[in-house]
Amino acid sequence: MKALVFDRFGGPEVLEYREVQEPELAAGTVLVRMRAIGLNFADVYRRKGNYHLQGEPPYILGYEGAGVVERVADDAEGIRIGDRIAFCDVPFANAELVRVPAAHAIPLPDDIACEQAASLLLQGLTAHYLVNDSYRVQAGDEVLVHAAAGGVGQLLIQLSKAKGARVLGLTSSEAKREKALQAGADEVLMYGSDSSLVWSETVRAWSQDGQGVQVAYDSVGSTLMDSFAAVRTKGAVVFYGMAGGDPQPVDPRMLMDTSKTLTGGDLWNHITSREERVARASALFQELREGRLRLEEPARFALRDGAEAHRLLESRLSTGKILLIP
C-alpha cells in the first residue's frame, strides 16, 4: 500500500509518499480502506519531533479519518465488511489501509459522508466535552472563546449558541474575525498588539452586567491569567491547549479569593470506551442534521501531496479543516 511517511524529523520536506507494508489484521481489529484523513496540528508537532509518536521509522502520521471496512477479525463484534467507519484516535492514518481496533471504530450513518466525519470528529468531540463536561454551558451564559476562527473555536461557538449562550470570540486578524462571526459569535475581538489587559477589560465591558463572562475556553496558554481577568467572580477558565506557549503558574490563593475555577481538558480522558465515542459522535451528527452545527468546506489534498497540506496548516492561513485524500 502507499502511505505518507518520514524517516527523520524536520519540515514538510521530510514527508515522502511511498510503498510500505500493509498492516496485518490482529485480534479485535478491522482493516479500513481510507476515504478521508484529517490533518491536525498534532501531526505537525510529531513530524518535528515535539510530540509522542508510535512505531519506528519510517513513521506514519495521522490519527483521524474515515473509510470502508475491508477485513474483520473473528472477534471484532458488530462490524462487517463494507461498513463505513470513522475514528479519531488510531495511529498510522496517513495510509491507504489502516488497522483500527473495533473499540475505536465509530459507525457512520448513511447521511454522514466520510469527508464530513474526518472533518468533524477530533475537533468536534473536543468541543463537545468542553461545553458539556469541563463547563456545562447553559442558556443565558456568556462565553469567551479563544482562537475563535480555529476548528475547535468555531465548533465551540456553534455548540454554545445552540445551548442558548451569548458568545464572544477572540482572534488575531480581521479575516479570522469574520470567520468567527460567520460561525455565529455575537461579537469578536482581536488580541491586538497592545497589552492583553485591554481585551480582558473589553470582555468585562461586553458582558451584560460588566462583571465578566461565566466561562473562558483558553487554548492559547500564554493568555491564561488574562482569561481569569475576563471571567466574573465564581467564573471558570477551561484550559485545553498551549498554541501560544506555556501558561504562567496559577496562584491558588487567587482562586480562593475570587472563587474562580480552573479546569484542565483533554479529550482522551473523556472517550475511554466505544460506547462513549459512539454516543458523543452520534450527538454531533444530530447537531449537523438539525442545522445547529455547520462545517466549513474543507481544503482537500491528495495524500501524495501531504507536504503541501502541512505547509498550508503551518502558515495559519487556513481556517477550516484540511483533509488528505488517498
Cβ atoms within 10 Å, residue 272 = 10
Summarised one tens digit per residue, pLDDT across range 8-57 is 999 999 999 999 999 999 999 999 999 999 999 899 999 999 888 888 89
Summarised one tens digit per residue, pLDDT across range 87-97 is 999 999 999 99
**Between 140 and 42, whose confidence is greater?**
140
pLDDT above 90 covers what percent of the chain? 87
Distance, CA of 223 to CA of 241 (rounded, Å) = 11
195: cell is: 497589552
**pLDDT at res. 209:** 97
User: How far is CA 312 from each of CA 14, 113, 268, rounded to the nearest angstrom?
Assistant: 15, 24, 27
What string of DSSP letters covers 12-34? GGG-EEEE-PPPPP-TTEEEEEE
Distance, CA of 253 to CA of 228 (rounded, Å) = 13
Residue 179 confidence (pLDDT) above 70: yes
**pLDDT at res. 193:** 47
**pLDDT at res. 12:** 98
Summarised one tens digit per residue, pLDDT across range 245-278 is 888 999 999 999 999 999 999 999 999 999 999 9
Domains with residue ranges and CATH for the chain: 2-121+269-325 (3.90.180.10), 139-264 (3.40.50.720)
Instruction: Quote the pTM value.
Output: 0.93
Contact 141, 215 (CB under 8 A): yes
Cis peptide before 23 (omega within 30 of 0): no
Distance, CA of 70 to CA of 276 (rounded, Å) = 25
Residue 317 confidence (pLDDT) above 80: no
**pLDDT at res. 244:** 84
Distance, CA of 276 to CA of 234 (rounded, Å) = 30
User: How far is CA 87 from each of CA 44, 114, 124, 195, rounded to the nearest angstrom?
Assistant: 19, 10, 12, 41
Q: Which of 2-6, 192-196, 237-241, 316-320 has the lowest mean pLDDT?
A: 192-196
Summarised one tens digit per residue, pLDDT across range 180-237 is 999 999 999 998 645 444 789 999 999 999 999 999 999 999 999 999 999 999 999 9
Angle between helices 151-162 and 114-129 (to 10 degrees): 70
Using DSSP's 3-state secondary structure scheme, residue 302 falls into: strand
Residue 136 confidence (pLDDT) above 80: yes
**Between 319 and 110, whose confidence is greater?**
110
Residue 71 confidence (pLDDT) above 60: yes
